[in-house]
A and B are shown apart, each in its own frame.
Chain A
């Protein structure tokens, strides 16, 4: 049977993992970068925080429709910009090699703000006297301060943010269903979308339930990592 469950399952594993890694890495990197930059000075703090958090506060389905328009092959803003700087326009959502990366970019756009506020909270919890003590010891260069004080103390927060983002990335469904429906050529067939398509499109409830168990196992694993991160966090607080 060419359409048997096993082949479909392995087909949906790769896009899911790739999406998870790309979105988690992207959201954590941008979230940490913006949090550090925002926290390093007082000017326009509120504005920047609002701007980066806006995607988190918006209705993702509606914004997915907006993204579809932004990524439109001929009328989209993204391709207009590319042509403006002299690059080739792309068909972002219908190109088998690009579709998953386009979805991941939207995922990062939507999640980076959440990572940012979690990092901002983590930065606030670093006691001022630790920074003062470091300054007395001659750690004054910003990069040195980050490498020797901020980053180690932010370790548990980082692990926590990574798991939060990974759990959310594993649950991706909305953008996939609106923009690609798993295609083209199954290149964006992520776990939850496969469950939906199998269970409610083809009414293979048994198979969909089996895949749900895999889904729950993934979430359980990430939750366990998260709990250990939260325990370590309380040691520093």
Chain B
């Protein structure tokens, strides 16, 4: 059977939408189900027949219980605090370091750079045991600092920024020195403004990573009031123990919301930042 060109295009378009829509539905189903369940009262969660929409809206009671049963706002606040502190410390360390590697000559530079590259390849779970033992001896276990300090130096951030700073013309650096700027001034007032887009991508990478991290908080935090959102989710789940999914789903909505909103608000930047994980490994 011969089809005209436009008919074939139409068929292809319809097939494309059919496949992608079906896929998108599967990928979004957990989110849709999470939100719908967070609106259902307990007797509508465990039913023999599948019901999609809640017949009685339990929005207020589920979300109230999610916020009062465990200190959910406290978890979110801890998450914000930890992520901000890590990011600020990382930037304070990585900008001067990246500048030194890109624009300065000093003894041992080649070897120091090799060490950075080596550190880049080591996954953070691999150093968990020695870091844990060190924090134990320092008496820092079960503090917010235990969540922040081990991540304050990012080899990946230094690597990324050094690659970026190498593209900044040397003339700019020379001119700033001729104007009498000190090296530190130069880093913050000349290099930093040129690096904003790259730094933004790194910031997203760092925040997404540490907001979602579960392994490390699980090891070093035992007090519920110090929990980050992922660890708090587990406290909440163990508390509910499969009895009432409505409030539990309300809790997961509140915990996933910040990053999802950030993603939807700044999609291009967000994807840029997250795909950096691909390079980092």
Instruction: List A residues at the B interface (Cβ < 8 Å).
Output: 30, 34, 37-38, 40-41, 43-44, 46-63, 65-70, 72, 74-75, 77, 80-81, 84, 109, 112-114, 117-118, 121, 160-161, 163-164, 167-168, 171, 173-174, 177-178, 192, 195-196, 199-200, 205, 208-209, 212, 215-216, 219-220, 222-223, 226
Interface of B is mostly: helix
Q: Is the CB of B248 within 8 A of A117?
A: no
Q: Is the CB of B234 within 8 A of A167?
A: no
Contacts A57-B274, A196-B218 known; list 7 others, CB within 8 Å: A52-B27, A58-B260, A63-B256, A80-B50, A192-B215, A200-B132, A219-B126
Interface of A is mostly: helix
The answer to the question of B137 belonging to the interface, with a C-beta cut-off of 8 Å to chain A, is no
Q: Is the CB of B30 within 8 A of A66?
A: yes
Per-position contact with A for B240-280: 1 when CB-CB < 8 Å, else 0?
00100100110110011001101110010011001101100
For the complex formed, measure the closest distance between the CB of B128 and the CB atoms of chain A, giving whole angstroms.
Answer: 8
Among A109, A167, A173, A178, the residue within 8 A (CB) of B27 is A109
Among B13, B245, B264, the residue within 8 A (CB) of A43 is B13
Q: Please name all residues of chain B whose beta carbon is closer than 8 Å to the beta carbon of A196 when the two chains form the complex.
A: 215, 218-219
Q: Please name all residues of chain A whose beta carbon is closer than 8 Å to the beta carbon of B88 when the two chains form the complex.
A: none
Q: Is the CB of B233 within 8 A of A61?
A: yes
The stretch that binds A, out of B15-23, B53-61, B153-161, B163-171, is B15-23
Among B31, B47, B245, the residue within 8 A (CB) of A69 is B245
Instruction: List B residues at the A interface (Cβ < 8 Å).
Output: 12-13, 16-17, 19-20, 23-24, 26-31, 33-34, 37, 45-47, 50, 121-123, 125-126, 128-129, 132-133, 208, 211-212, 214-215, 218-219, 229-231, 233-234, 237, 242, 245, 248-249, 251-252, 255-256, 259-260, 262-264, 267, 270-271, 274-275, 277-278, 281
For the complex formed, measure the closest distance between the CB of A42 and the CB atoms of chain B, giving whole angstroms.
Answer: 10
Q: How far is the CA of A68 from the CA of B240 in the complex (A)?
A: 13
Q: Is the CB of A58 within 8 A of B129?
A: no
Chain A minimum-CB-distance residue to B52: A77
Q: Is the CB of B27 within 8 A of A44?
A: no
For the complex formed, measure the closest distance between the CB of B18 and the CB atoms of chain A, giving whole angstroms.
Answer: 10
Among B129, B132, B255, B271, the residue within 8 A (CB) of A53 is B271
Q: Say yes or no: A209-B211 contact (C-beta < 8 A), given A54-B31, A167-B281.
A: no
Q: How far is the CA of A48 from the CA of B229 in the complex (A)?
A: 28
Q: Is the CB of B24 within 8 A of A62?
A: no
